[in-house]
Structure 1
């Protein structure tokens, strides 16, 4: 499993509308083969800061499967206007995990 992460900074005074539109846009990312789930976390200390985490089966499911799809064009159309600056997306694989 691959974890995609992005720290999202939302333009001032648009956080509430971003959250509404994020829910709408979620249907597009979740339609992609290899998608395993995603979460959006809101920062408690910085009002306009969010953390996006998406689980993919493989790196290519995100970088090729999603990024070259019609679904991505819709995701981008709905969400990209909110970002300032544009987020850096990174991918991680688990080295160690301890669960209770």
Structure 2
């Protein structure tokens, strides 16, 4: 399992519209092979900044399977217009479990 991490800088004033679009986009990513779970959190200090964490079975499930799919184009059409600047995405291997 790997965790995809992205800090999403949403254009100020578009947070409500972004959240509505993300609600739609969530069903797209959740249907992808290798998808495990997703969380989206909003910053308290900077309300136009969001933290996206997605768990995938493998790195390739995200980088090849999802990003190379027609579904990713739908995801992109729904969400990418909200970002300024475009977010950097990283991938992490777990070191400690969530709870023992």
Q: Corresponding residue for 1:32? A: 32
CA distance in 2 between partners of 1:36 and 1:15 (Å): 26
Q: Could you list the runs of 4 or more consecutive aligned residues of structure 1 that deviate by over 4 angstroms after TM superposition?
A: none
Moved more, 26-35 or 74-83: 26-35
Unpaired runs of at least 5, structure 2: none
CA distance in 1 between partners of 2:4 and 2:11 (Å): 22
1:1-100 equivalences under 5 Å are: 1-97=1-97, 99=99
- RMSD over aligned CA atoms reads 1.0
The alignment of Structure 1 onto Structure 2 pairs a total of residues equal to 100
Unpaired runs of at least 5, structure 1: none
Q: Decide whether aligned partners of structure 1 residues 98 and 21 sit closer, same or farther in structure 2, where only a CA change above 3 A counts.
A: closer
TM-score (norm 2): 0.96
